[in-house]
Amino acid sequence: MTRELTHYLESIRSSAHLDNCDEPAVMDELQAHIEDKLRDLTESGLSEEEAIKTCIWQMGSIKALARQIYEAYSQGSWKQVLMAAMPHFIFGLLFMLNWWHYPQWSSIALIITLGIAVYGWGHGKPVWAFSWLGYALIPVITAGILLLYVPTNWSFLGIIVYFPLAIWWVFRLVVQTTKKDWLLSTVMLLPLPIMIGWYLAICPTGKITSDSLQKVNTYAPWIGVSFMMLAFTIGTFIRLRQRSLRVGLLAVSGLLTITVAVFMATGHWDKASFFWPVVGLWVVLLFPPLLERQLKTGKWLPGKRRTTTVNS
């Protein structure tokens, strides 16, 4: 296999964003086709260079082929829809039924979330696992917020030790996910702008005050509705085939959720609780594709430049 054809196959592989379980078979099949084609073309009298050019031209453009492969594999089953929508549904239910303040229910929800997220991560990282991973970040964020309320000396320690560690860990998680597909990073991080919106609606100054819990009680049904909207969004996302539609869905639905939930619940145009979640949403939508581009060119990870090997 020449460098040109290896690059052709590698470009298709990186653009098709296939699941780990499908990718080797699809790439092996394409490689076998190219090898057969190349042999026939050279036997028919073409030079190696001409044969390679003809072969690539007859196979089709990388972009079109990768898109078609993606669409052939992207649609998830209804079981996957259920699995992907489940964490949003669980947290939505927790607030809609006003069970969030019972420690046992919140703990059960978090333990289930962490368990399934770790299981999914360790078992081939299926698409549904990334919804769970987003909620698995809640304990990390909560611990960070709580550290702001411990005595000053400990709080300082938290800032210099915990925050850099937490940010590094989340960044590593996003990098690992983006290597697979940046859209999955967006799926994973999508609940964060919604949570930021609610946090700012409940604590406009950024600090938890005595009436914060009362506010959570008041807004609980709306918080539940926003998580349910996310459940519906992710369910639709799993069933859609086209990548462009998936991106559009996440952008529109994220904005709609923030607008409906935060604006309707607060009853007025609160700039802070609307502006920062929208900024967060743009970060969630734009950072992963930019990161993916950087990872592909190898600029951010020394010694991890793009490989040109193909599964054989």
Partner 1 sequence: MESKRDLLKGSSNSLLLCLLEGQPMYGYQIVKELEAKSQGYFKFKEGTLYPALHRLEKSGVISSKWELLANGRQRRYYTITPKGQAMLAQEKTQWLDFFNAITMVLQPAKSGI
3-state secondary structure of 232: helix
Does 32 sit near partner 1 (CB under 8 A)? yes
d(CA 223, CA 86): 16
Instruction: Determine, following the binding rule CB under 8 A, whether residue 21 of this chain makes contact with partner 1.
Output: no
Q: Which is nearer to partner 1, 2 or 31 (CB)?
A: 31
Among residues 20, 47, 68, 209, which is the contact residue for partner 1, using CB under 8 A? 68
Which helix H or strand E contains 274, and what residues bound it?
helix 271-297
Q: Which range binds partner 1 by CB under 8 A, 32-40, 116-124, 219-227, 300-308?
A: 32-40
Cβ proximity of 253 and 233 under 8 Å: yes
311 binds partner 1 (CB under 8 A): no
The verdict on 20 binding partner 1 (CB under 8 A) reads no
Query: Under a CB-based contact definition with an 8 Å cutoff, are residues 129 and 116 in contact?
Result: yes
Question: In this complex, which beta carbon is closest to partner 1, that of residue 39 or of residue 101?
Answer: 39
In the complex, least distance from residue 49 CB atom to partner 1, rounded to whole angstroms: 19
> Residue 240 and residue 43: Cα distance in Å, rounded?
43
Q: What is the token pair recorded at 242? A: 């086209």
Q: How many residues bind partner 1 (CB under 8 A)?
A: 22
1 forms part of the interface with partner 1 (CB under 8 A): no
Task: List the one residue from 59, 114, 170, 208 that touches partner 1 (CB under 8 A).
Answer: 59
**Footprint (CB under 8 A) of partner 1, residues 73-132:** 73
Helices (H), 44-162: 48-59, 62-74, 78-96, 103-122, 129-136, 138-147, 152-157
Task: Check binding of 245 to partner 1 (CB under 8 A).
Answer: no
Of these, 1, 20, 48, 60, which contacts partner 1 (CB under 8 A)? Answer: 60
Residue 277 CA, chain-centre distance (Å), reads 17
Residues 251-270 as x/- pattern, contact with partner 1 by CB under 8 A: --------------------
- Going from the C-alpha of 257 to that of each of 23, 66, 131, 134, the distances in angstroms are 34, 32, 16, 16
Q: Name the site residues for partner 1 (rule: CB under 8 A).
A: 12, 25-26, 28-30, 32-33, 35-37, 58-61, 64-65, 68-69, 71-73
